[in-house]
């Protein structure tokens, strides 16, 4: 070392000075604390109604406060919202990672639903707590835990991904909440539509998105019967949603008598689809069903036309691609899409206008309307079961809320007329097959260009 | 050598030289940075998104972030330069404040120009977050003139406050800054503290500290501030004494204290989840699982020096083996074993995976190893995801219905329950890796890490050492995977992205590579932080990234470096370099 | 300890026997698998000869994109010796900013009327944006850590990568942005019997051109000599009068500019960009750089091409022939296995290391 070494010297000195100072501070602190204690008490007594957020806990837990005399909570407990307090709902959506747009789009749908009500429900402001489900099982677990840790949360809109939905629905169900997803489609979460619950079904779980089985069947019937195609290829991207839907399509298509010449897959993040499309061409497919998302969906539609042998192939997507940022592209001309039947164009147009105004961009994915409907369904159910006291205190019984949601019938939403079955599938069972043509360059026009409407059992 | 570092810190405050005049260029530079930062946080939508979030008595998080830029960079502008041994510290005083003020004014002016810009031109088609509402926020709803006064004035004021921080006497400064940080933390993590209060059966504290609409109340802020100020002030000197005490302790004495510390830690661990409640337990569980992996990777990277970027492969193998063996929902073959019965198979599968990854990479060095292991991580995920192996592993639909963890008569179900088995395993693994560190094989690893050919010549069996490191690392990760599978109740290929490998690597490096306490702290902070940052919703990875860079710049050796590592990364070299640079600059200045 | 060490604890020759045996088994299995799969694929007649040729072109084009990004990777690695994880994001920022320029030009009509002029303008924008980001990241996240062990800047590069991704997402939104198509580049050329889609042809040409330029820069200019000197030994280079800081900034700037070019080409070929675009190509480019021999400029090019070709042809040729369903889902498995095999045979990559020899 070149530089001089200096020794620590005045340590004792400093310590002594510190300790005197410390005593002084301690005295000051005690004084202030005393003053604060007084102040604190005043604050609490000033709280209107004398009682803050009171939540009656589920049976088995200790109840710290007595429920009000008029209101008797059910077996799952209840949420009590004091005057001036917000009614809390949570969004559990994928807002980070590659699929961030999927969740962000739905959060925006929920926010617009809240705005439409002027931010209020039953005279209370609506507070939205947004959690990230990370599109993964562990993300769904932590997010759901965080939500249920707050006993004031009434219901959850989510998850974005079925993988996150499996553990999340279990956690929320055990906590007595309700959860409505706008984009889970796995049959495991609800039922196989033949009366058998899925392996991950939980009471209190609902969804406004379609069960894969319905949509797959609708698309298969259209391709086989209406278009008269007999050789299909399916492509999924390894997401439980797309894989489930592609397989559901394949099964239905084969049952109808068609042939699935190639059931293949790509990965999220892939950009060069030409090799896989060459395989499709070699297999001699007449239609490619690829119920995936952007951006991979762009690459397939765009590159398919460059492949020898696929010049005339029919491209068929699902609601994952039925978004404005997708259909504006010219390479989507001629494509078919399956998606929920929309009751009338104008309501959706208005919604899109609000979206544009609020977020400065066109809807970035395709499930915002499902999430919007999910939020409105929840609000409607809350309004229906809430017990309102004279001073504005609101009690929401958790079991009653669940029952009200299961009883939802003929609810008019952007995605159609929603009716919930006993396993929580609420989506309008009607599926529209729409086509993008030269004359329909935007999403509203595409949605209006309905070629075929499928009604199960009809 | 170590003494020199101490000596620098203990530079007496008395020996002062008159401070140089305010470095105008530097102050303006920091001001520009402050302004750009403020514009940036506005343009990414942070200010607007955080507007609804009240932190302390009506001050919302949006403005806090905005003006925080002025504070931080005001401080940066006024911060005294690097103190060097043998040089006298410059006097601190009004000039620091002035530097902060200038930086703040410049920053405010930049932000004001931005306000003017977005008033004049609609740039929303490019920047969707630059909305009319943002403009209203930045002008406080009162037009550009008021905005000019408020932004420039406000930034100047806050910048001056930031600049004033170094002026405060040392013994007040640290407690003050720390106490303010605590106030901020209490405000930001309101719901966490509320949960802790509820869990600790002191719910009245919640009402005392927080106001009904959210955020700390004035009273609450004062209590927190005074409390922590006093605590820091009173313990500042003691910490020094304790530290020097520890340094002079005899080995036997130290061992005794470590034992006492362990017992205390175990007692705390035992009661902790009861206080924390389910969500915070969940965060700790997740941190614990990552901790297990980090302890394993620490052996591979920290001890043996084999840079493994595909560590998630072993985690996945553990989780999937568990799922297949225990779940009734396993697609092809479901023996529905218990965890204990499945354990030998899990270990076996992990060991085999370790050999399969370890053998081909035996001859590879450094970054070749990194990319090949990264490849193995992706291969594992893709195979579990593939349609090809779907009949065995469920493909994209994963494997559901994994039963809760059973250990003998005990069943672990909730996040709260899981805390105990996870941390029990963590303790065991921490002991194992501590024991390995001082074992023959551990010394072999370290010799190999330093210089492989030399180690080989000295009789270290390199092949054996490498394979053992991989296998032990794989087994530790597979335990993490097994517990993860039981805890979540389902496995999906999605949970095994490259990101997991990266996070584990970040944990051991930020914690302090090769050091077990460092790894523990690293895991708690780096897994805990993103979960706690959930508050920041879509901005959390942005903040995470910034924190990562900041931490590495401030403490490149990690939070708690291993003793040996600290020696390697010695401060002196950096100090001498800095000194040399200064000299060069001075020479260059004199020359021009 | 377990099966592993049990197998490995034997003394002397027997253990080496195990390792050697294992590696030989891997090699034989690989060769056998490749031959077996190829045999069935080719004799099965699933794909026509033209389709095989197409696959080759697709692979080379995709590989060229990887190669362009890999050039930047390899430069930074060669000179500084650490993995710059943020390089993928540097590339993304060029593509993203370029999108807005392209979109603007498209609105003014210049894109349609003067496609090549507009492409040139957008190219400049992309290069500028990427260069600025690359140099900025160097200044903030790497320069202060010049003397730290190489794992430390690796971590800051991960931090920078997160920051850039989410900053771009915040600034420009999470949606996917679609580049306007260039009408003049529709269709395909016929090169020696291979059908080459025009945009792909341009990518391949650009990659080769950039590689040559970079090679000349490093090997023939004074700046290049300074770079090589810094790569050899920073301290000695400094003593010899090389301005180390400036040289390193130049390295980042050149790497950034390359990434900018890649960004524009990305926009041309794939016509879209979003905040996560950089992540995967970044990793692939890193793989290419290693595959070719990291630090070696020609190696980066070769590595990129090989990787692209393997990804494109491998699944169809080998996996499909072995009867694996959804073979293209596993293209990354094939790519990484190819990497492992190459490194098992040649531990320093196809072309070996260049810029600096011997980096442990």
Q: Please name which of A371, A32, A284 lies closest in space to residue B223, comparing C-alpha atoms.
A: A32
Query: For residue B587, what pLDDT band results from cuts at 50, 70 and 90?
Result: low
Tell me what the mean pLDDT of segment C230-239 comes to.
Answer: 87
In the listed set B467, B498, B529, which residue is the last one of a domain according to the structure? B498
Torsion sign over Cα A177, A178, A182, A183: positive
Highest mean pLDDT: which of B87-101, B331-345, B569-583? Answer: B331-345
How many angstroms separate the CA atoms of B51 and B66, rounded? 11
What is each CA distance from C358 to B87, B208, B241, B366, C174, in whole angstroms? Answer: 41, 64, 47, 11, 43
- Spans of all domains in chain C: 52-345
Q: Do C174 and A104 touch (CB under 8 A)?
A: yes
Distance CA B124, CA B138 (A): 16
Tokens of C3: 């099966």
Largest pairwise CA distance in chain B:
81
d(CA C268, CA C119): 9
* B285 and B160 part of one domain: no
Q: How far is C166 from chain B (nearest CA, A)?
A: 5
In angstroms, how far is CA C345 from the centroid of its own chain? 21
By CB neighbour count within 10 A (0-12 exposed, 13-18 middle, 19+ buried), where does C48 fall? Answer: middle
Q: Is residue B89 very low, low, confident or very high in pLDDT (cuts 50, 70, 90)? A: low
Q: To the nearest whole angstrom, how far is the Cα of B84 from the nearest Cα of chain A?
A: 9
**Which among A157, A44, A159, A167 has a CA at the least distance from the CA of A94?**
A159
Residue among C155, C142, C82 at smallest CA distance from B506: C155
Stretch B138-164: mean pLDDT, rounded?
Answer: 86
Provide the 10 A C-beta neighbour count for residue B264: 10
Neighbours of C63 (CB within 10 A): 29
**Residue A131 in contact with residue A147, Cβ under 8 Å?**
yes
What 8-state DSSP symbol labels residue A425?
A: B
Phi, psi of C111 (to 5 degrees): -55, -40
Share of chain B above pLDDT 70, in %: 88
What would the mean pLDDT of B564-590 be, rounded to a whole number? Answer: 60
Read off the pLDDT of each residue in B374-399 and give the average, rounded to a whole number: 91
Q: Using the predicted structure, report yes or no on whether residue C253 has a pLDDT greater than 90.
A: yes
Dihedral of CA B81/B84/B86/B89: which sign? positive
Sign of CA dihedral C128, C132, C138, C141: negative
- Is some CB atom of chain A closer than 8 A to the CB atom of C48? yes
Quick check: A364 and C46 CB within 8 A?
no
Domain holding B87, by residue range, is: 17-167
B101 inside domain: yes
Residue B120 lies in a domain: yes
The residue among B480 and B540 whose pLDDT is bigger is B480
What band does B311 get if pLDDT is binned at 50, 70 and 90? very high
Task: Using alpha carbons, select from B67, B59, B60 the residue that is nearest to residue B41.
Answer: B67
The predicted structure's pLDDT at residue B534: 66
Q: Is residue B336 part of a domain?
A: yes
Number of other residues whose CB lies within 10 A of the CB of residue B83: 13
* Contact indicator for B175, B236 with CB cutoff of 8 Å: yes
Which of B6, B398, B495 is the closest to A8 by Cβ?
B6
pLDDT at A446: 86
In order of their start, the domains of chain A are 78-209+367-427 (3.40.50.2300), 213-339+432-454 (3.40.50.2300)
> Does some domain include residue B96?
yes
Stretch 128-147 of chain A: residues touching chain B, C-beta under 8 Å: 130-132, 135-138, 141-143, 145-146
Query: Residue B405 in contact with residue B492, Cβ under 8 Å?
Result: no
Q: Over 60: is that where the pLDDT of C6 sits?
A: no
What's chain B's average pLDDT?
Answer: 84
Q: Does C312 touch chain A (CB under 8 A)?
A: yes
CATH T-level assignment (fold) for domain C52-345: ABC transporter involved in vitamin B12 uptake, BtuC (1.10.3470)
Residue B458 inside a domain? The answer is yes
B125 pLDDT above the threshold of 70: yes
Share of chain C above pLDDT 90, in %: 35
A366 close to A320: Cβ distance less than 8 angstroms: yes
C132 interfaces chain B, CB cutoff of 8 Å: no
Q: Is the peptide bond before B475 cis (omega within 30 degrees of 0)?
A: no
* CA atoms of B77 and B27, how far apart (whole Å): 5
Q: Which of C168, C170, C178 should we substitute to test contact with A (largest number of A Cβ atoms within 10 Å)?
A: C178
Q: Which residues partner with A70 through β-bridges?
A: none
Digit-coded pLDDT (tens) for B28-39: 999 999 999 999
CA–CA gap between residue B439 and residue B444 (Å, rounded) = 9
Q: Closest Cα partner for C5 from B470, A424, B499?
A: B470
pLDDT digit string (tens) for C173-186?
888 888 888 888 88
Cα–Cα distance for residue pair C318/C331, rounded to 1 Å = 10
The whole-number pLDDT of residue B16 equals 53
Q: Does this complex have an ipTM over 0.85?
A: yes
* B544 found inside a domain: no
C223 contacts chain B (CB < 8 A)? no
Please enumerate in sequence order all residues whose Cβ is within 8 A of that of C6, keeping only pairs 6 or more positions apart, or say none: none
Contact yes or no for B251/A65 (Cβ under 8 A): no
* Residues B287 and B162 grouped into a single domain: no
Query: CB–CB of C172 and B372 under 8 A?
Result: no
Contact status, residue B478 vs residue B350, Cβ threshold 8 Å: yes
C335 touches chain A (CB under 8 A): no
pLDDT surpassing 80 at residue C335: yes
Written as six digits, the tokens of C295 are 């630090």
Q: Could you write out the three-class secondary structure of B116-162?
A: HHHHHCCCCCCCCCCCHHHHHHHCCCCHHHHHHHHHHHHHHHHHHHH
Q: Residue holding tokens 């190459």? A: C342
B411, exposed or middle or buried, with CB in 10 Å at 0-12, 13-18, 19+?
exposed
- Asked if residue C260 lies in contact with residue C139, where contact means CB atoms within 8 angstroms, the answer is no
Q: Among residues 143-172 of chain C, which lie with CB inside 8 Å of chain B?
A: 144-145, 147-149, 151-156, 158-167, 169-172
Chain A CB contacts of C276 under 8 Å are 97-98, 100, 269
- Note the helical H segments in C190-239: 198-220, 222-232, 234-239
Kindly report, residue by residue over B406-416, the tens digit of the pLDDT: 888 888 888 88
Q: Residue A271: its pLDDT value, please?
A: 87
Whether B256 maps to a domain, the answer reads no
The shortest CB-CB distance from B546 to any of C22, C163, C337 is to C163
- B59, B63, B64, B67 alpha-carbon torsion, rounded to 10°: -130
- A263 forms beta bridges with A234
For residue B6, the model assigns a pLDDT of 45
**Confidence (pLDDT) at A63:** 36
C190 has which bridge partners?
Answer: C195
User: CA B369 to CA B360: how far, in whole Å?
Assistant: 10
Q: Give me the pLDDT at residue B558, please.
A: 83
pLDDT greater at residue C355 or residue B528: B528
Task: Verify whether the Cβ–Cβ distance C328 to A263 is below 8 Å.
Answer: no
Predicted local confidence at residue B342, as pLDDT: 92
User: Torsion angle of alpha carbons A185, A187, A193, A198, nearest 10°?
Assistant: -140
Q: What is the pLDDT of residue A442?
A: 81
| Highest mean pLDDT of the ranges B211-215, C49-53, C132-136, C287-291 | C132-136
Helix (H) or strand (E) holding C317: none
Q: Give the span between the Cα atoms of B284 and B487, in whole angstroms.
A: 13
Q: Does B534 contact A146 at a Cβ distance shorter than 8 Å?
A: yes
Answer whether residue B327 shows pLDDT above 60.
yes
C41 CB contacts (<8 Å, ≥6 apart)?
A: C47, C316, C317, C318, C320, C321
Q: Which of B498, B523, B538 is the last residue of a domain?
A: B498
A98 CB within 8 Å of a chain B CB: no
User: Do residues B112 and B156 touch, judged by C-beta distance below 8 A?
Assistant: no
Q: Report the SS3 class of residue A439.
A: coil
* Contact B398/A at CB under 8 A: yes
| Alpha-carbon gap, residue A99 to C164, rounded angstroms | 17
Q: Higher pLDDT residue, B564 or A225?
A: A225
Q: Structurally, how many domains does chain B consist of?
A: 2
Long-range contacts of B118-121 (CB under 8 A, 24+ apart): B119/B144
The span from the CA of B104 to the CA of B160, in Å, is 7
Instruction: Concatenate the DSSP letters of all residues of B17-28 into one string.
Output: EPPPPP-HHHHH
pLDDT of residue B410: 86
Pick B50 or A38 by higher pLDDT. Answer: B50
Average pLDDT, chain C: 86
Q: Where is the domain boundary, B132, B167, B202?
A: B167
Looking at residue C8, its pLDDT comes to: 42
Same domain, B145 and B281: no
What confidence category does residue B371 fall into, taking pLDDT thresholds of 50, 70 and 90?
confident
- Choose the closest CB to C270 out of A281, A299, A364: A299
Residue B60 forms beta bridges with which residues? B54
How far off is chain C from B21, nearest CA to CA, in Å? 26
Instruction: Let me know whether B280 and B157 are in one domain.
Output: no
DSSP H helices in B249-310 = 251-297
Per-residue pLDDT, B17? 55
User: Which pair of structure tokens corresponds to residue A394?
Assistant: 């609101």
Question: Is residue B453 within a helix (H) or strand (E), and if so which, with residue range?
Answer: helix B452-457
Which string of DSSP letters, residue by residue, matches A238-283?
S-HHHHHHHHHHHHHHHHHT-EEEEEEE--TT----HHHHHHHHHH
Shortest CA distance to A208 belongs to which of A400, A404, A413?
Answer: A413
Interface test with C, best of A96, A238, A274 (most C CBs within 10 A): A274
Q: Determine whether the interchain pair B348/C100 forms a contact, defined as Cβ–Cβ distance below 8 Å.
A: no
- The stretches in chain A having pLDDT less than 70 are 1-70, 342-345, 457-458
């Amino acid at each position: 070392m070149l530089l001089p070494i200096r020794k620590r010297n005045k340590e004792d000195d400093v310590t002594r000075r510190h300790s005197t100072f410390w005593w002084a501070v301690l005295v000051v602190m005690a004084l202030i604390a005393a003053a604060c204690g007084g102040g604190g008490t005043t604050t609490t007594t000033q709280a209107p109604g004398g009682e803050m957020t009171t939540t009656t806990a589920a049976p088995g837990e200790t109840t710290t406060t007595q429920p009000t005399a008029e209101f008797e909570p059910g077996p799952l407990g209840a949420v009590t919202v004091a005057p001036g307090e917000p009614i809390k709902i949570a969004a559990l959506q994928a807002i980070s990672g590659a699929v961030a747009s999927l969740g962000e789009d739905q959060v925006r749908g929920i926010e617009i639903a809240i705005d439409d009500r002027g931010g209020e429900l039953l005279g209370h402001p609506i507070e939205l707590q947004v959690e990230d489900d990370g599109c993964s099982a562990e993300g769904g677990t932590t997010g759901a835990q965080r939500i249920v840790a707050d006993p004031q949360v009434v219901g959850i809109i989510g998850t974005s991904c079925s993988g996150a939905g499996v553990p999340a629905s279990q956690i929320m169900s055990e906590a007595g909440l309700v959860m409505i997803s706008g984009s889970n489609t796995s049959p495991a979460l609800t039922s196989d539509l033949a009366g058998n619950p899925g392996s991950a079904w939980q009471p209190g779980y609902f969804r406004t998105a379609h069960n894969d089985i319905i949509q797959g069947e609708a698309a298969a019937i259209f391709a086989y019967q209406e278009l008269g195609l007999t050789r299909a290829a399916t492509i999924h991207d390894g997401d439980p949603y797309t894989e489930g839907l592609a397989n559901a399509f394949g099964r239905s298509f084969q049952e109808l008598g068609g042939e699935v010449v190639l059931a293949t897959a790509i990965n999220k993040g892939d950009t060069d689809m030409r090799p896989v499309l060459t395989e499709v061409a070699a297999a001699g497919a007449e239609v490619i069903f690829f119920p995936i998302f952007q951006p991979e969906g762009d690459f397939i539609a765009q590159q398919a036309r460059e492949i020898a042998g696929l010049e005339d192939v029919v491209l068929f997507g699902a609601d994952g691609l039925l978004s404005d940022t997708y259909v504006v592209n010219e390479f989507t001309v001629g494509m078919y899409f399956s998606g929920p039947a929309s009751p009338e164009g104008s309501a959706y147009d208005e919604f899109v206008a609000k979206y544009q105004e609020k977020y400065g961009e066109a809807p970035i994915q395709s499930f915002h309307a499902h999430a919007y409907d999910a939020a409105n369904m929840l609000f409607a159910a809350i309004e229906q079961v809430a017990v309102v006291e004279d001073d504005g205190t609101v009690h929401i019984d958790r079991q009653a809320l669940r029952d009200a949601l299961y009883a939802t019938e003929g609810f008019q939403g952007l995605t159609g007329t929603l009716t919930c079955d006993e396993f929580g599938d609420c989506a309008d069972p009607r599926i529209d097959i729409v086509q993008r043509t030269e004359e329909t360059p935007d999403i509203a026009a595409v949605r209006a260009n309905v070629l075929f409407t499928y009604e199960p059992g009809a | 050598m170590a003494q020199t570092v101490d000596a620098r810190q203990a530079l007496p405050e008395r020996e002062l030289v008159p401070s140089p005049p305010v470095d105008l260029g530097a102050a303006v530079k920091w001001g520009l940075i402050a302004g750009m930062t403020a514009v940036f946080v506005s343009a990414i939508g942070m200010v607007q998104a955080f507007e609804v979030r009240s932190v302390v008595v009506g001050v919302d998080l949006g403005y806090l972030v905005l003006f925080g830029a002025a504070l931080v960079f005001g401080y940066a502008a006024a911060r005294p330069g690097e103190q060097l041994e043998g040089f006298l510290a410059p006097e601190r005083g009004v000039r620091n404040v002035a530097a902060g003020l200038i930086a703040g004014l410049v920053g405010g002016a930049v932000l004001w120009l931005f306000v003017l810009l977005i008033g004049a031109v609609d740039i929303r088609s490019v920047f969707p977050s630059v909305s009319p509402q943002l403009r209203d926020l930045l002008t406080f709803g009162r037009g550009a003139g008021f905005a000019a006064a408020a932004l420039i004035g406000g930034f100047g004021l806050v910048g001056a406050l930031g600049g004033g921080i170094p002026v405060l006497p040392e013994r007040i400064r640290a407690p003050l800054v720390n106490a303010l940080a605590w106030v901020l933390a209490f405000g930001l993590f309101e719901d966490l503290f509320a949960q802790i209060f509820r869990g600790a059966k002191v719910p009245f504290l919640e009402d005392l500290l927080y106001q009904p609409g959210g955020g700390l109340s004035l009273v609450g802020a004062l209590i927190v501030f005074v409390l922590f100020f006093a605590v820091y002030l009173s313990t500042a000197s003691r910490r020094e004494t304790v530290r020097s005490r520890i340094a002079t302790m005899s080995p036997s004495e130290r061992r005794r204290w470590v034992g006492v510390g362990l017992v205390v830690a175990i007692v705390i661990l035992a009661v902790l989840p009861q206080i924390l409640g389910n969500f915070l337990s969940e965060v700790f569980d997740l941190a614990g699982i990552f901790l297990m992996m980090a302890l394993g990777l620490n052996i591979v990277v920290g001890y043996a020096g084999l840079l493994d970027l595909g560590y998630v492969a072993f985690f996945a193998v553990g989780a999937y083996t568990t799922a297949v063996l225990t779940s009734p929902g396993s697609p092809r073959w479901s023996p529905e074993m218990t965890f204990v019965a499945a354990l030998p198979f899990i270990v076996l599968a992990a060991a085999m995976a370790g050999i399969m990854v370890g053998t081909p990479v035996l001859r590879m060095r450094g970054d070749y190893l990194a990319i090949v292991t990264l490849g193995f991580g992706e291969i594992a995920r893709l195979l579990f995801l593939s349609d090809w192996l779907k009949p065995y592993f469920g493909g994209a639909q994963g494997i559901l219905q994994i039963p809760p963890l059973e250990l003998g008569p005990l069943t672990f179900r909730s996040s709260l329950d899981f805390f105990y088995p996870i941390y029990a395993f963590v303790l065991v693994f921490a002991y194992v890796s501590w024991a390995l560190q001082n074992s023959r094989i551990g010394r072999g690893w370290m010799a190999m890490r330093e210089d492989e050919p030399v180690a080989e010549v000295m009789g270290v069996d390199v092949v054996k050492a490498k394979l053992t490191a991989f296998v032990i690392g794989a087994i530790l990760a597979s335990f993490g995977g097994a517990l993860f599978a039981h805890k979540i109740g389902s496995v999906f290929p999605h949970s095994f992205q490259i990101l997991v490998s990266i996070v584990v690597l970040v944990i051991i490096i930020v914690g302090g590579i090769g050091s077990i306490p460092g790894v523990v702290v690293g895991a708690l902070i780096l897994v805990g932080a993103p979960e706690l940052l959930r508050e920041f919703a879509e901005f959390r990875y942005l903040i995470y990234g910034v924190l990562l860079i900041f931490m590495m710049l401030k403490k490149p050796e990690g939070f708690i470096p291993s003793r040996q590592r600290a020696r390697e990364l010695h401060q002196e070299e950096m100090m001498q370099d800095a000194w040399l640079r200064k000299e060069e600059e001075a020479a260059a200045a004199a020359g021009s | 300890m377990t099966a592993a060490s049990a197998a490995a604890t034997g003394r002397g020759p027997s253990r080496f026997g195990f390792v050697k045996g294992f590696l030989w088994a891997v090699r034989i299995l690989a060769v056998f698998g490749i031959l077996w799969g190829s045999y069935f694929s080719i004799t099965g007649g699933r794909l026509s000869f033209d389709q095989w040729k197409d696959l080759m072109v697709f692979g080379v084009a995709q590989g060229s994109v990887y190669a362009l990004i890999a050039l930047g990777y390899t430069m930074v690695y060669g000179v500084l010796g650490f993995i710059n994880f943020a390089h993928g994001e540097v590339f993304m920022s060029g593509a993203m900013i370029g999108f807005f320029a392209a979109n603007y030009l498209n609105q003014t009509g210049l894109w349609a009327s003067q496609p090549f002029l507009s492409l040139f303008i957008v190219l400049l924008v992309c290069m500028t944006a990427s260069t600025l980001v690359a140099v900025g990241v160097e200044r903030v996240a790497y320069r202060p850590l010049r003397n730290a062990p190489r794992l430390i800047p690796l971590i800051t590069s991960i931090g920078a990568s997160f920051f850039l991704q989410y900053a771009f997402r915040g600034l420009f939104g999470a949606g996917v942005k679609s580049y306007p198509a260039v009408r003049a580049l529709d269709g395909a050329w016929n090169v020696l019997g291979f059908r080459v889609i025009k945009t792909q042809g341009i990518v391949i040409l650009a990659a080769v051109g950039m590689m040559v330029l970079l090679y000349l820069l490093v090997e023939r200019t004074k700046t290049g000599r300074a770079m090589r000197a810094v790569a050899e030994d920073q301290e000695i280079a400094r003593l010899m009068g090389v301005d180390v800081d400036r040289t390193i900034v130049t390295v980042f700037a050149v790497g950034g500019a390359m990434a900018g070019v890649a960004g524009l080409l990305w926009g041309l070929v794939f016509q879209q960009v979003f905040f996560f675009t950089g992540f995967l190509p970044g990793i692939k480019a890193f793989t290419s750089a290693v595959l070719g021999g990291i630090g070696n400029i020609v190696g980066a090019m070769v590595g990129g091409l090989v990787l692209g070709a393997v990804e494109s042809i491998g699944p169809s040729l080998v996996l499909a022939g072995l009867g694996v369903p959804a073979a293209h889902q596993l293209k990354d498995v094939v790519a990484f296995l190819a990497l492992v095999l190459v490194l098992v045979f040649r531990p320093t990559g196809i072309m070996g290391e260049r810029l600096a020899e011997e980096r442990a």
